[in-house]
Structure 1
């Protein structure tokens, strides 16, 4: 059970090797940097070291308690990421598939709405706009 924040890319197969051994179900999700406008070159992600890792650890522990997880993993990148690069991953392991799926969904909703990251979309001219919170993300979090 771990949470990591890092600049370097991660290898999904390596992260999942041996993950959840003994569980009945393992669910993983990998988020990619996407360009909804057709004009974005990169995404810059900032965070406060220490505070961010602690928040991710707390929500992973809450997911484990709430859904009966035997293992969980959150990896989130920061720095400058090009469109199409992996930005984060969540993996959950539980005795039954529904708990593993629900826990992964719960963590994704939390990460999207509450994780202490700040994102700026960088355009071709090098300038960029900060990404604002979306009502749909808040609504999704409200399910839990």
Structure 2
């Protein structure tokens, strides 16, 4: 098994969540119940979201969900002078991705947090959504 693959299982009430692939601070989003699990690779979703007119930058993250453990959220910045319609963006994604990979919600921000080299800090993007939850991803 490659060094970057570390199976981990966590049971949250009736929900079984599994993170199978860890890539630094950008783990694959994996969610489901005891019967099914779905793997969502955030770069795949980010590529589709970035193609939407008016999107300048994107970070796809997992946010808390009572039923599935996590749901997919896109956090985007708009091109100067453009507006991003969240509903149209979700519809755009549903035409190009499997339904379970599509963002359930979209937030538009002025800027995304970055480190000194310019990489988007997804853990900083995720933080506000996980406040008040005992489990953090």
TM-score calculated relative to the size of structure 2 = 0.34
Structure with the largest fraction of helix: 1
Q: Provide TM-score, normalisation by structure 1.
A: 0.33
Larger RCO: 1 or 2 (CA < 8 Å, sep 6+): 1
